[in-house]
Amino acid sequence: MYRILVADAIKPEGLSPLLEATHIELIQKTVDEAEKQLDQIDAILVRSATKVTEELMERMPQLKIIARAGVGVDNIDIPAATKRGIVVVNAPDGNTISTCEHTFAMMSSLVRHIPQAFTSLKAGEWRRSSFTGIELRGKTLGIVGFGRIGGELAKRAKAFGMEVVVFDPFLTTDRAKKMAVTVLPLAELLPKADIITVHTPLTNETRGLINKENLKTCKKGVYFLNCARGGIIDEDDLYEAIIEGQVAGAALDVFVEEPPHGHKLLELDQVIATPHLGASTKEAQLNVAVQVAQEVLTYLNGNPVSNSINLPAISKEVFDKVQPFYQLVQHIGMIASQLIKEGIQEISVTYAGESLDFDTSILTKSLLSGFFKTRIDLPVNEVNALLVAKERGITIGEKIAADTLGYANLISLKVKSEKRELTISGTYIENYGSRIVSLNGFKIDFEPEGNMLYIQHTDKPGVIGNVGKVLGDQGVNIATMQVGRKQAGGDAIMVLTFDKSLDPETKKMVEKIAGITLVENMSLF
């Protein structure tokens, strides 16, 4: 049973994948209200209100995934989550259109003074000349941060006859060409634009991106919008620039402190504002809730997520390709770790086969998470697996090979310690599942599952029968048994699966059987 804390207001309809899952308990409480249950929480779902700090993570030792029902993750301590192996996911495009439409509504309202005119009219006035605005047509819109929202905004601005100039250091020439926008350095965009809107995340680079110094370089009478994050436009500097008449007005959906109680910008007639409503539509809230609920469920069910902040992004196409191999590699890692118990120096993974023709780094990380799972008292997963390996001085290698040894695909692991080397290979067969097909050079064929026993022995009559007898006498039910040998009468291995793990006493009895050289429990739980 997994416990998921829904700490902020997230649309209930969107949570249905979680509500329907029988192995999930949803707790809809704030962090303070859930104080006594925090140590049992496996996943937390938030919007922007809850701050997921390192201190909060410390109080949630079971936490496996943090899901942000929205885009901005500035309320989550990502490095702290990464260190702890906690996956952070967001819903990157569920609220793009709503936020873009809100920005557009704010822009129209700003240049036509709609909120001010409405307030005046409600107060019984009829002051038509006080609210003369400007047309958008023919004006230059400067978009700072040309991602999803910026891009949608550009399309709409063009439909209104505006010229669009953009600044985004990470923008590719291809996308700029496709979107038919003029790309400028920030220093050239600012003096050119009549209206400037910011759509970057809040980072160390973007905090105060628009400030006292560069506000001076803007056109006199420029309008500013911030529907991204408070602080991208320095609030004090914006206030001064409005007072001085350098900036004609501003539309703000976001503030450094939210709610912005008694904020001086809100006292200015030239400022219109909304209480962080960019994503507040029925559609956006449903979209983001569904997206993160599905991600959380996917992850808790042991599958890779597609919108992680602290894992490399994987497209739907790659995600579909990765999925069949995801558990196989974890199982390969877990088996290897239990068969080579000493400290190790090197882990190398080889991928062969057309169906593995993608960026396999996520699989290597998944394999490592399986490997470390049984030997490190820390949650290790794809998020921190490489870090854990590096901290332990283990060299990690990844190779592509052509030879699949007749299988459709083949994933092979080699683990080296000071004393020895262990090899294991597995394959995924469509509609059939995962199989381990070679172990320490022995050809074998078994499904990695549950409680297993690995036995090394001499290939001679009676050994297999004696193993069956000892286990039978102890009331152990053998579910499956596979044997492998290199040549008749030589070294051989046996892999058995049981319904429950083998107790130490029975294991000792098996070890005493003549011809047996090594017995190891392998558990895939």
Ligand X SMILES: NC(=O)C1=CN([C@@H]2O[C@H](COP(=O)(O)OP(=O)(O)OC[C@H]3O[C@@H](n4cnc5c(N)ncnc54)[C@H](O)[C@@H]3O)[C@@H](O)[C@H]2O)C=CC1
Catalytic residues: 229, 258, 276
- Which partner from the list ligand X, ligand AKG, none does 201 bind, CB cut-off 5 to 8 Å by kind? ligand X
Identify residues 254-313 at the interface with ligand X (CB under 6 A). Answer: 254, 276, 278-279
CA distance 167 to 181: 10
Piece of 274-282, 301-309, 310-318, 476-484 that binds ligand AKG (CB under 6 A):
274-282
SS (H, E, C) 310-340: CCCCCCHHHHHHHHHHHHHHHHHHHHHHHHC
* C-alpha 53, offset from chain centre: 17
Q: Does the footprint of ligand AKG cover residue 274 (CB under 6 A)?
A: no
Q: Does the footprint of ligand AKG cover residue 95 (CB under 6 A)?
A: yes
- Least distance to ligand AKG from the beta carbon of 451, Å? 45
Q: Does the footprint of ligand X cover residue 166 (CB under 6 A)?
A: no
Of 167 and 446, nearer to ligand X (C-beta) is 167
Phi first, then psi: what are they for 431, rounded to 5°? 65, 10
Q: Does the footprint of ligand AKG cover residue 115 (CB under 6 A)?
A: no
Question: Which residue from 72, 324, 379, 433 is in contact with ligand AKG, where contact means CB under 6 A?
Answer: 72
CA distance 239 to 236: 5
Chain residue whose CB lies nearest ligand X: 147
Phi first, then psi: what are they for 14, rounded to 5°? -70, -20
Identify residues 195-234 at the interface with ligand X (CB under 6 A). Answer: 199-202, 205-206, 227-229
Contact 422, 414 (CB under 8 A): yes
- Least distance to ligand X from the beta carbon of 269, Å? 23
Q: Does the footprint of ligand X cover residue 253 (CB under 6 A)?
A: yes
Identify residues 423-482 at the interface with ligand X (CB under 6 A). Answer: none
Closest by Cα among 223, 260, 211 to 110? 223
- Which partner from the list ligand X, ligand AKG, none does 206 bind, CB cut-off 5 to 8 Å by kind? ligand X
| Structural element, H or E, at residue 446 | strand 442-446
- Which partner from the list ligand X, ligand AKG, none does 205 bind, CB cut-off 5 to 8 Å by kind? ligand X
Identify residues 39-68 at the interface with ligand AKG (CB under 6 A). Answer: 47-48
- Least distance to ligand AKG from the beta carbon of 278, Å? 6
Q: Where are the beta strands (DSSP E) in 12-79?
A: 24-27, 43-46, 65-68
Phi first, then psi: what are they for 256, rounded to 5°? -60, -45
Residues 6+ apart with CB under 8 A from 291: 69, 91, 94, 307
Number of residues that bind ligand X (CB under 6 A): 31
Of 227 and 519, nearer to ligand X (C-beta) is 227
- Which partner from the list ligand AKG, ligand X, none does 493 bind, CB cut-off 5 to 8 Å by kind? none
Q: Does the footprint of ligand AKG cover residue 71 (CB under 6 A)?
A: yes
- Which partner from the list ligand X, ligand AKG, none does 451 bind, CB cut-off 5 to 8 Å by kind? none
The b-or-e profile of 53-79 (16+ CB within 10 A means b, else e) is eeebbeebeebbbbbbbbbbbbbbbee
Q: CA distances (Å), 94 to each of 102, 274, 365, 413, in order? A: 14, 20, 28, 39
Within 13 Å and on the Cβ side, how many CA atoms surround 285? 13
- Least distance to ligand AKG from the beta carbon of 48, Å? 5
- CB count within 10 Å of CB 14 equals 23
Closest by Cα among 476, 60, 81 to 309? 81
- Least distance to ligand AKG from the beta carbon of 143, Å? 17
Contacts with ligand AKG, residue ranges (CB under 6 A) = 47-48, 70-72, 95, 276, 278-280
Contacts with ligand X, residue ranges (CB under 6 A) = 70-72, 95-96, 99, 144-150, 167-170, 199-202, 205-206, 227-229, 253-254, 276, 278-279
